[in-house]
Structure 1
Amino acid sequence: MFKHLKLHGKLFLLVLSIGLVSLMSGAFYAYLVEQDLAQSTLIERRQFLINEVERRLTKKQEIGLTNAVGLTTNTDLHTALLQYDRDLAALALEHIGELYRNNTNFKGIKIHLHTAQMRSFVRSWDLNAFGEDLGKFRASVRQVNQNKKALVGFELGRDGAMIRALVPLTEGNQLLGTLEFMQGVGSISRDFEQDSRFYLMLLTQEATQIATKAANNQKVAGLPVANNKWFSDSTLAAARSLEAHALLQQEYVLTDAYFAIRLPVKDIEGQIIGWHIVGEPRRFIDAQLQEVQRLSTSFLGLIALMLIATMGFIFLGIHKLVICPLGYISTGLNGFFEYLYQQRNEASRVTFRGKSPEGADELAQMARLINTNITQVERQFVQDKQVLVEVEEVVRRVDAGFYAYRVHQQTSNPQLDALRQILNNMLDSSQLHFEEILATILSFAESNFTSRLAVHGTSGKLGSLIAAVNTLGVSISELMAIIQNTGVILRQGTTTLADSAEHLRQSSHKQSDMIQITHEAVQEVTAHIQQSDHKVGSMQDQAEVMSQLAKKIGEIADQTNLLALNASIEAARAGEHGRGFAVVATEVQQLAVHTQEALAEINRNLGGLMKLVADIRTASSSQLEHMEKLTQVADELAQINMENSAIGEQVYQMTGEIDQRVASLVNVAEQTRALKRPTDQVCDVDLVFEINKVKLEYICFKDELLTQLTQKDRLQQASQDQCPIRAWLHRDSQDPRRQRCEAWQNLVQTYQKQADLCATLIQARQAGERYEQVQELIKNVEKGTDSLFDAIDRVKTQECRQRNLELEARCQQARQTSAH
């Protein structure tokens, strides 16, 4: 509906709406003022009742303290405490109570006398109850006994809460005990009733744990009154008519009949033991509240009249000062827009009643400003058209492949001029990159692979192209390094092989000579062994003859021994005549025995000699067999050595041919200019080609990822799940050699930084950030690619160094083994 209204209708509705909102705001403010005044009235009335309660309670306490001080002058009480005479004390208290009942309004006073040991001495209302240790639960008794100063205030007892005035009884500096003057608040309730108000005191549930007798008193809002006798039925009825539960949670409550407040009852220690409830009829404050309402209504009516008058003047002023000038401005702008849309050849200007706008008001200033801007826009429009024509021409030439053209026409339009500068900068950057790429490719064609392209903040397809060209240069340099290293190794191998072949030839000739000498020596040794065997055989025959001869000598010695024995027997028979013959027979017998012993020794020596001769002949036979085998082996070695000599000659001739071909290959590699570092990282050819493949796959992956991030329809597809380096790292991470490689750990950290950077870029683009906001992130991704590739190359370098160290260790071990 509002879309079809003209401006003056909308302004009228706006002014009317503002008036209504202002009126409602005024009404709301009047209501707030009324509520605030009413609240202030209630607070003032509450404070009045609080002051009344506190005034009467203070008066009550002062009277109690005055009476207690006066009673301490009673000599009978002093005497009773000194002599511990309870009867005397009871008689004195009875006399005092009768005086109060007959002459004052204090009908329910109670006097309690305590000893210096804080034990109950005499209670005026219960003479049989005494001896109780009051110091255990009566804080007031402890304070007066300790400070020896009077004290007054509320305190709980078994009967309930009362005003207790305690005064020390002393005799000189000696404390005889304390006198306690107890009062209720019934008189205060009665005084409030005389003023058409009500007052009562409630005890808390916690207080009834001490005031056990009061727990059964009448209750208001679930809390017992301090004493059933202190408060009249009308007071209790008025209190029960209140929203007592709400009153216990708030500071005051206002019902249809009463206005009531509550304030806490605190004991001597400051603990809340109950609540004072004070109330008065509502008519006491209704007059004040009605006056507040009348003032609020008058204030609201005045606001309404002022708003109506103000809205009328505002609407008339708006029509004359705003609506009409805006119509003139609209007419002038329509003519200008027709010029912009090329519906007319000349731009119109804003005029007020056919004249140029005059005056110092804002609309006149705006009209003059519009006319000035129309003139500037008209002039700028011509410039912009010339710039666009030149841009179109330059774009056509660039599309044909000519990057040397630039847009030179300038304009005062900052956006279009910024576009011109961006286009020229783009052409400068593209021309520079293409020239660098062309120069690098031409250097590759001239066998110079040391050139590397700088990123210069490029990204996207051009960044991928630069990375691919750099990777190509590294790959070719690695290939040249592989060829050169292989050629060096082959030349070293052929040289070693040639030396070995020559050494084999010389060794074969030496071995032939040594084998011939050995063969002749073996034949000579064999002849000596055969001669020794013949001599040993002769010795064995002679030993056999000697053995037979010794046997015959033994038989003769046995016969001689027998004959000598017979001669000795015959000499014994002859007696004295045969004594000389007996001596001869004995000597012959001894000679025979010695002969037998010598023959036994000869037989033993001949046996050892014959065994030794037999062993020598056996050893000689074995040596002859070995010498025959050695002669056979020498003949076979001579044959093999002749074959080795022939093979060595052939190997020596072949190594010469191989060395010539390797020299030609190394010469080609040395003429090529390649990067120096790849020579340290090409020991594992399979690893070199595997890493080059991973690099190229990552360049394609990065290019596809950046393409997705620049296209809205593919933005949500961007992900790093298919990253080839990530898959390669995951596949080789369990290799023990990789885990010990410091360069590998550095590569993992570098890749993680690159992956985090890509993740941040993906998240930013998917969150809706524009290309300009993430352009720096894209440049960092391109720079990170160079760092990532460098970290990958360092893995190859460290891998080669580790392998060289292991190879050197094995060679050292082999040399040590050979030395041993």
Structure 2
Amino acid sequence: MKNFTISKKITLLSLLFTIVIMGVGYFILNNYKNNLTEDVYVELEKDLQNLAINRIKNKFNVGISNAISIANDQSIKQALIDNNRELAIKSLANLSLNMKNNTPFKNIKVHIHTKDNHSFLRSWKLDKFGDDLSSFRKSVVSVNKNLKSINTFEVGKAGLSIRSVVPIINEQNNEHLGSLEFMQGINSVAKAFDKNKDAFLLLMDKSLLVSKVPDDKIFLNKYVISQKFINKDFLNDAKQIDLQKFLNDKIYITSKYVYTYTQIKDFEGNVVGIALIARLHEIVNMTINQVTYIIFVSLLILFISLLINVVLSLINMKKNIITPIKNLKEAIDNIRKGSNLDAKHIEVKNNDEIGDVVKSFNSYLDSIEEGIQKDREVIDEARVVMEKVNAGLFNDNIKKEASSKQVTLLIHVINDMIEKMGNNLSILSDTFIELSHAKYNVEVPTIKGVTGILASLLSGVKVTQSTISEVMALIDDANIKLSKSSSELSTASTKLSESSNLQAAQLEETAAAIEEITSTIFQSSENAQKMSVYTNDVIKSNEEGKKLANLTVNAMTKLNEEVISINEAIGVIDQIAFQTNILSLNAAVEAATAGEAGKGFAVVAQEVRNLASRSAQAAQEIKAIVENATLKAQEGKEVTDKMLNGYNHLDETINITIELIKEVADAAKEQQTAISQINDTVNNLDKATQENASLSTTISTMAQNTKFLVKNLSNAINNTSYNEESKKRISNPQMIFSLNKLKSDHIIFKNNSFAKCKLGNKFSVKHYHECDLGKWIKANDNETFAQTPQWQELKTLHKKVHEEVQKVVDLFAEGKSNEELLNQTQVVESNIIKVFEILDKIKEV
């Protein structure tokens, strides 16, 4: 190489450079292909996992919404209060029919539990209830204990399912009645994946299985399939997975699918299974194959281009460069060897291009030093000015002129930027100062030609002003209502006065009742004295009655004994008569059936005669006893006559006593009634007195607090000014904050999209259905206010904002001119403002 000519060296170096470039190009492009392949799989993993998580999350959101809605049904609550399962069954049937007609849910599964964790009603199995769920339903136990909703995957007999469990509360007394569970499968998620030619399989850890399942539900002997919808081709391919390797690497590739997974956890954070997700291998490889083809074509084009370039360069170099360079070299060598060493110039020997180069080079040597000095001074001044700008001072600019047009143009651009930025920030500062003076109706100026962050600042100020103005309108409206409450407090004071008058009237009634009681007690005392006089006669008569009673008792005792004997004798006679009748009946039967063999009848006849004899004897005994009883009865009669005379007198005495006792009882009854009246009246007075005292204290405190609050609010409102149009937008306070947040979210969406814009970076901005405003529009599309022209205009403008932002991204990526780019951003800013204005109109609607 050392002895080669420049031509040979350049030729050799060009060939070596071509080979090296080809090698490097192949290495770089192949490495890029490998990295891209790896990135494709990484992005695929993230995409499939996020897709699965989002779709499962949507199921969770639907589940908890339906659970809360059903739990708030008054019939369900009343059924739990009354323990009325029939009412609950009827209510769930109506809810199920309504959801079947108006939602995608055709067969809902709802489980209602009591507050002590027992099953109250299963919508799919009405005859099974009352079982204790505490041992295996942790979510139900947690909700009934903490009264906080749970939205989770939970293990069941058939595998995993989504359980949305919420407490059931009686709002009237804040009583915990029980809990409600809305159950969902995961089939809709699997179908959605299958519709997009992807695959999804929910797998539960086999170790958590609580009952036996069919063998076709077991996956690789480690998991249980927890969904009904299954793509058979996908399942057969999935069974070829090396499970341990797959779980470690999180991605697995077969000839048909590329697999990944995401863990499934319950509400306690325990891993209960995985969601297996896959995409067709041919779809994934499509991008990789395209890149491989492009790399091959690029290498071929690069090789041909380099080869042609080397040949042409060598020819041109030899003819137009090497020869003049040789001449220039000789000239430079002559200058170097010459005696003129006091200047930095090269002597011009040729009038060709090389000579011109030498002249230009000499001129450049002269001007470069001067230009460097002037540019150095401008740069120093620019540094000083930019330090002021960075600190927030925009009152200075760059005054010195540069040597080159490019630097001069840059200086003009910087000065123009400082001036415009200072003016724009001054406008923003003045607006903020007005807001700090509580002038919330100040008009936020529109700055023409501003976009990006500055436009976002202006939009943010407008959103802030709108929020504050609407909040002030809400406070003003509340203050008016507080003033009305003062009148209600006055009414309460009047009622308190009426209550006091009622107390005075009740006291008068109490005094009258006490006087009646005094009179009754006096009369009762007189009657008691009369009763004491008659008491002696009653005692004497009672003593004589006792003697006669004793005689009567003795006589009657003997008579009783005789009567008992008679009863016994009569019992014997009855028995004999009964047996005689039976024997006679038997004899008649035997006589009819025995024929010649009638010897047994003699025995029966003898027994009949014996019984007859005993009956006769008993009759004689009865006769004697009866005679004796007659004598005793006569004696008893005489004694009874005497006793009757004694008791006649006693009866008169007792009658008088009874009359007196009746009078005393009547008096006591009157006393009791009066005392009860006194007691009730006193109790009512005591209760009314306490309530009046409490009411008086409460009303006094309320009046003072209300008066102070109204005064403070009035002062605050009087010292502010807000847009009167805001009063039209405060009927729904929650919408004030939610819609203004949606405005701010759209500013953030625009800022984030613009921040990622750069040359060659093409990407898709968030779809207008995926942003928060888009989700809100979709969620409220069936509301009454959505059936208006303003709503249709909002949907059109919102979609247009996303489309115009996408155009800005594309213009950046394609490197379009600033004029075209800024015009497009102005369209975006204009449409965002229109969206804000239409949102305010919708709040008014």
Assess same fold via TM > 0.5. no
Give the TM-score normalised by the residue count of structure 1.
0.35
Q: Which has the larger radius of gyration?
A: 1
Q: What TM-score comes out, normalization by structure 2 length? A: 0.34
